[in-house]
Structure 1
Amino acid sequence: MSHLLPVVVATPAYAGLGAALTYEHPEVLAPGTLVRVPLGKREVLGVVWDGAPLDTGADLATRPITEVFTPLAPLPASWRQLVGFAGRYYQRSLGEVALAALPPQLRELNGVQLARRLKRQPGPATAHTPPPVPELSPEQTEVMVRLHTARQPVLLFGSTGSGKTEVYLRSVQRLLDADPQAQALIMVPEINLTPQLEERFGERFGADGVVAMHSGMTPPQRLASWLAAHSGAARIVLGTRMAVLASLPHLRLIVVDEEHDPSYKSQEGARYSARDLAVYLAKQVNDSHPTPDGEASHCRVLLGSATPSLESWHASETGRYLRLAMPSRIGGGSLPRLRLVDMNHQPRKTLLAQPLLDAITERIGRGEQSLLLLNRRGYAPVLACHDCGWKSECAHCSAHRVFHKIDRTLRCHHCGFTERVPRACPACGNLDIAPLGRGTEQIEEHIIERLAGVLRPDGQPAQVARMDADSTRLKGSLEQHLARMHSGEVDVLVGTQMVAKGHDFRRITLVASVNADAALFASDCRAPERLFALLMQAAGRAGRDASLGTGSEMWVQTGYPQHPLFAALRQHDYPAFAAQELKDREAAAMPPFAFQALVRAEARSQETAQGFLNEAAALATELPGADQVTVFPAVPMTIQRVANVERAQMLLESPTRVALQRFLAAWQPVLLDTRQGPAGKGLIRWAIDVDPLNL
């Protein structure tokens, strides 16, 4: 006798195939079992899902499961519940979320190949002698005591350099001591922060039980880490947002470092927020243990930041989260003093004001380091002809190609289209084409020129380095840049936001934001929050070593020195900034006091993309929750064309999360039907983005 089993496979929501497909197998397989099944003319990886198996009927035609991955333990119920919640909340298909959460190489292996991989898994951990641990500060000690009894999400509001990482380490140590099987998940927002964190955790706990998970790893590395986590061999998992969807059967601690960072929100695929899923995952694990058996059975979630997201800050104000503060820096280091440079009083086209250059020179002479922050890579955003007005627009996107002087190219950062820099204006033949704006390459070139002849204390010329997505593209280049900074070989580091957070550069005493004004008056309501967080995080790189004195500074070049954001920044007063921002958000009925979703559509013409969205909206006026949801007309996206595809979006707002979710769930079939109708002709794809960060 055969049985019918529900199996989820990677099918997108817009395919309309349902949550799970039905396959036949002679045996009843446990939910979470990995299988290979036929799908169309292909054979794909699937996961047996929850649901009672049915006996096959005589007249029911089903396809059989091809192969069962018997050597691998079924994916745990906690993982399946998390995937189910993510699919429902973010309006994606179950299989789309489930299969994307698995390592890519796992989807390509058959059972025999997987069995071979499992045999290669490392054996028992070797003995490890941990180094001496530093003594906790009074603030750290108080936080550890309150963490021990916390039964709600904890927001660790710790100043940059206050020792949040040591709190993470001690929390993991206490967990591992209490439960020989327990696992901890430590998340960071970006790949470049994982090497130093992996080093610190490996030094404290030994490398055997620590694995990393991020997209910068090779497919075999990602598979090995996933298998170690799934089997329980990895006690500590360090990773970026993808790690929240790893299979961790004995998870008891989740740390989300720099929880405010927008990188935790995926901008493709399921568009989930790893921070929010972490909070849900901890609650779900705890709900499955209604009568906790001792301390180790409780799963804690710890959100850490010096500049928390306004959503998390509001949750701590209303009591949903427990807020613990660590305002002091370890070792007596002081937060830098803010110096505003009014660029209205500087000569036109000044890149770096002379007082700032003098301050950098002074630090080089003392053997100290400086950091220059400019969140735009390349040499200049645009190359232009001043005679005819030609600009380096991308032929395939509604954006400009960035001028990269190092390799003399014009490169689109959206579609990747690259050409050599023309010798003359392509439109009028003028030989005098010039860059507009500034990027990290230009700042690096300028600072090298201005520091020519400046010597370090050892008599050697000053060294300048650049750290951005271009300079760290090659394997191992990120680690080399970090090593040069930590060794003191580099005197001035020019970088994008990737250098502004998480790094412990001990000898930096000056940080400068070269151009902070672009975000001051942006249309996005989150722009001030992001700018304040970036500047606070960047300032936190300075003054970490008290032995260098208390003269650390944060310089900001701005044309608006009287802007209220800088008044809060001068006092390092995040609570005052957050209070004002939340007041403004509440008055404008913006998140976290309202809930939003975007529906995005892509087509070969803007008319088709907007027409699809407006038609679907017109058919949704009677849906459940429609009376509590405001649906705005479709508009082009900020960059409306990418790779010759036109993009439009429609904003939805509601005062309640429940009403918005109910409306979106009921709207999905309408969107599917509209896609199949006349309004969907020429449409390439559509997707829903719940809780969007970029409008």
Structure 2
Amino acid sequence: MDSTPSADSESGAPGQESQVLSVLVALPAHSPLSATPLHYTHTGRLPPGTLVRVPLGARAVLGVVWDDVPLPQQEGLQLRPLLEAFTALPPLDASWRRLVTFTAHYYQRSMGEVALSALPPQLRDLDGTQLARRLRKLAADKGLEARTASAPLPLTPQQQQALDTLLAPADGGTAPRPCLLFGSTGSGKTEVYLQAVARTLEQEPGAQVLVMVPEINLTPQLEQRFADRFPDQRIASMHSGLTPAQRLQGWLAAHTGQARIVLGTRMAVLASLPGLRLIVVDEEHDPSYKQQEGARYSARDLAIYRAHHAQARILLGSATPSLESWHQSRPAGDGDAGGRYLRLAMPARIGAAPLPRVRLVDMNHQHRRCVFSPQLLEAMAERAARGEQSMVLLNRRGYAPVLHCADCGWKSECPHCSAYRVFHKIDRTLRCHHCGFTERVPRACPSCGNLDVQTLGQGTEQLEEALAHELRALTRPDGQPLVIARVDADTTRHAGSLEQQLARVHSGDVDVLVGTQMIAKGHDFRRITLVAALNPDTALFSSDFRAPERLFSLLLQAGGRAGRDAAIGSTSELWVQTRFPTHALFAALQRHDYPAFAAQQLEERAAAGMPPFSYQALVRAESREQQAAQDFLNAASSAAADVPEAAEVFCYPAIPMTPQRVANRERAQMLLESGNRAALQRFLPQLAQQLHAQRNRTILRWAIDVDPLGI
């Protein structure tokens, strides 16, 4: 039944003809209606990019007027009218619509899904009058404080050279080349970002800048740095930790151009920024830039695409660049034309602070259940006696990964997943980190009744407890007992808790900080002089070919938190406890030699035909039965083998994912590989058609992941 349009929907001149408009709405990729925009009527013409509310079945949903798509020739076709047009809001421009189109096509999702997911959720609940009121309020409230801007810091020669190269005019009016800022930890990359933003805003009155960070926990200190430097500029933040009202306000400020500086996580890459002139992607190597649900896009890669088409500059910054970016920034030579990016190097730390010394502890010489080697405990005690801070990194939260019974072999398996539930001692629970299933810890073994149920392995909660025991006799220089704090997903789940804990570290209230990888990157801890990484060995021999790259990056980034303040005068150290101290990765780490590590990894990948020398996609399927999921993927692959594009694409047989079962759903995956990105892109829509055709009731869902980071 057609919905009755609101009074605002048919506002137009009397006698005005009804127009047919193409409108994108949010439809899942497997919907038969998702391929193209839907058609509606409206009295009067609306420009593409106008937000509208339209009827869809029995619901009223938000949509975006799109570029004209021919109306299907269908007998008896009746179109429904728009319900409302949000004419108070400027239309989304052609550059944004091109970005949405590219994202949907490249990552094999529907355009409506991508477009509507890029808009703040609260827009779905507002009518035209409410939205106009928000816009008037936004224009009246500049959100600025009357205070003095912090002065720019003097640049070192290497910083100045990087800044000048980034902002140099492009040749012949072409789009500026992407720049990779390869700067060691503590080399002053953030100051380069700040001064690049300042000069961009000065050069063009309406210019906007997008600065991206990989994780929410890095935004507070960055927001403060930018607010101190630019008190006269409205700064919009975009990340999932904001309330719906805050997300809407930030998006409106960016879309209308009132916010000239936008800070955010990966979602910010799809924001409407009509005046975009500079994009900064900090910690560009971080896997958090890859979306893992819905449209599985890489925000870093989309930022590069967006900058190119907007004729904007883009700066990718990292102390450990992704191997893809490193390869793309290779200099020309020996018959190689070189990469598409410019590489800018800043190898020296600010203030002559030395890079941390890397010390390897061979755990083969310690007793089997040793958690902290005596040498490491002694070094931490020396730091505490001098009033310095230490940091302990273990990328596993909870108290212990597994509870087990030595009598019968029972382990704390999750009944819904092919994984173990983690023991959390603080609330005496067994918690699955995949599906969230939680139970109280049993008083005795559920299988045999044995009362002596023990833990296997360590988590951050256990490290915190062990350190408190080992260092209980030590005091600060003022005689107070040492303070040990833990920062992980369990201790920072409440709003504001992360900021409070980090403030304690910055103020010196914490002597030893224990945490997961969320404390290992981006933070400017001035008092930390020792970092210890425990049990990193699992990544050395992983089946995932990206595991060594991620481990080297994590260790080098973690070590970079130490010794950032040269005034302390203490030699900073990175301690690594390992059973494989002679491994080549640790040898490169001791020299802080990322180029050598990258060269070795790229040589291995070239020999094996791995990215960046090939291109990949993963097709995943979920079913109640593992064999059904695998058969579905293999059948679709076989059916698509006859299309011409299949000749350049190799489809591996479907296999179980790891973990194989999550929330009672069996998961399978099929890897596709090609040496030609264009051929893979032409093949994927053909495969998607076969997946649509082969799907049956046994398949719960399927998805295509282009350029996957985890296999």
Q: TM-score, normalised by structure 1?
A: 0.96
- Choose which of 614, 624, 629 in structure 1 pairs with 2:644: 624
**Counterpart amino acid of 2:318?**
S
In 2, Cα distance between equivalents of 1:55 and 1:279? 35
Superposition pairs of residues 263-302 of structure 1, within 5 angstroms = 263-286=288-311, 299-302=312-315
- Choose which of 535, 539, 552 in structure 2 pairs with 1:519: 539
CA contact (8 A) 1:5 1:54 kept: no
- Choose which of 126, 145, 149 in structure 1 pairs with 2:164: 145
Aligned to 2:280: 255
**Counterpart amino acid of 2:225?**
R
**1:602 partner SS:** strand
Superposition pairs of residues 175-324 of structure 1, within 5 angstroms = 175-206=200-231, 208-286=233-311, 299-317=312-330, 318-324=338-344
Superposition pairs of residues 335-374 of structure 1, within 5 angstroms = 335-374=355-394
Aligned to 2:450: 430
1:117 equivalent to 2:130? Answer: no
Over 6 Å off, 4+ runs: 52-58
CA contact (8 A) 2:408 2:447 kept: yes
1:83 equivalent to 2:108? Answer: no
Aligned to 1:295: none
**Counterpart amino acid of 2:286?**
D
Shift of 1:127: 5.2
Superposition pairs of residues 287-686 of structure 1, within 5 angstroms = 299-317=312-330, 318-675=338-695, 680-686=696-702
1:34 equivalent to 2:51? Answer: yes
Aligned to 2:153: 134
CA contact (8 A) 1:5 1:53 kept: no
Aligned to 1:692: 708
CA contact (8 A) 2:416 2:663 kept: yes
Shift of 1:40: 1.4
Q: Deviations over 1:67-88 (max 9, x none)?
A: 1111111111111100100000
In 2, Cα distance between equivalents of 1:53 and 1:209? 42
Q: Deviations over 1:498-552 (max 9, x none)?
A: 0000000001110000111011100000000000000000000001111122511
In 1, Cα distance between equivalents of 2:73 and 2:676? 44
Q: Deviations over 1:414-449 (max 9, x none)?
A: 111100000000011000101111000000000011
CA contact (8 A) 1:186 1:238 kept: yes
Aligned to 1:7: 23
Which stretches in structure 1 are left out of the alignment for 5+ residues? 287-298
In 1, Cα distance between equivalents of 2:667 and 2:124? 31
Shift of 1:670: 1.5
Shift of 1:492: 0.3
In 1, Cα distance between equivalents of 2:581 and 2:103? 43
Shift of 1:8: 0.7
Superposition pairs of residues 63-74 of structure 1, within 5 angstroms = 63-74=80-91
- Structure 1 residues 122 and 3, CA, compared in 2 at 3 Å: closer, same or farther? closer
**1:302 partner SS:** strand
Aligned to 2:333: none
Shift of 1:134: 1.3
**Counterpart amino acid of 1:309?**
S
Shift of 1:52: 6.3
- Structure 1 residues 45 and 520, CA, compared in 2 at 3 Å: closer, same or farther? same
Shift of 1:129: 2.7
Shift of 1:54: 7.0
Q: Deviations over 1:235-292 (max 9, x none)?
A: 1000000000000010000000000000000000100000000000001112xxxxxx
Q: Deviations over 1:289-336 (max 9, x none)?
A: xxxxxxxxxx10000000000000000013200000000001111111
CA contact (8 A) 1:25 1:65 kept: yes
**1:338 partner SS:** strand
Identity %: 66
Aligned to 2:8: none
In 2, Cα distance between equivalents of 1:599 and 1:15? 18
In 1, Cα distance between equivalents of 2:72 and 2:586? 69
In 2, Cα distance between equivalents of 1:332 and 1:129? 29
In 2, Cα distance between equivalents of 1:269 and 1:56? 32
CA contact (8 A) 1:511 1:554 kept: yes
Aligned to 2:196: 171
CA contact (8 A) 1:128 1:205 kept: no
**2:641 partner SS:** coil
In 2, Cα distance between equivalents of 1:16 and 1:458? 70
Deviates more, 1:662-671 or 1:88-97: 662-671
In 1, Cα distance between equivalents of 2:704 and 2:75? 40
**Counterpart amino acid of 2:237?**
A
Shift of 1:19: 2.1
**Counterpart amino acid of 2:319?**
A
CA contact (8 A) 1:28 1:53 kept: no
- Structure 1 residues 498 and 209, CA, compared in 2 at 3 Å: closer, same or farther? same
In 1, Cα distance between equivalents of 2:75 and 2:232? 56
Q: Deviations over 1:369-416 (max 9, x none)?
A: 000000000001111111111111111111111000000000011111
Q: Deviations over 1:106-133 (max 9, x none)?
A: 1222222222222321534565531222
Q: Deviations over 1:26-77 (max 9, x none)?
A: 1111100001111111111111101168799995311111111111111111
**1:14 partner SS:** coil
**Counterpart amino acid of 1:316?**
S
In 1, Cα distance between equivalents of 2:269 and 2:449? 54
CA contact (8 A) 2:616 2:708 kept: yes
**Counterpart amino acid of 1:646?**
E
Shift of 1:23: 1.1
Shift of 1:341: 0.4
CA contact (8 A) 2:39 2:71 kept: no
- Structure 1 residues 429 and 638, CA, compared in 2 at 3 Å: closer, same or farther? same
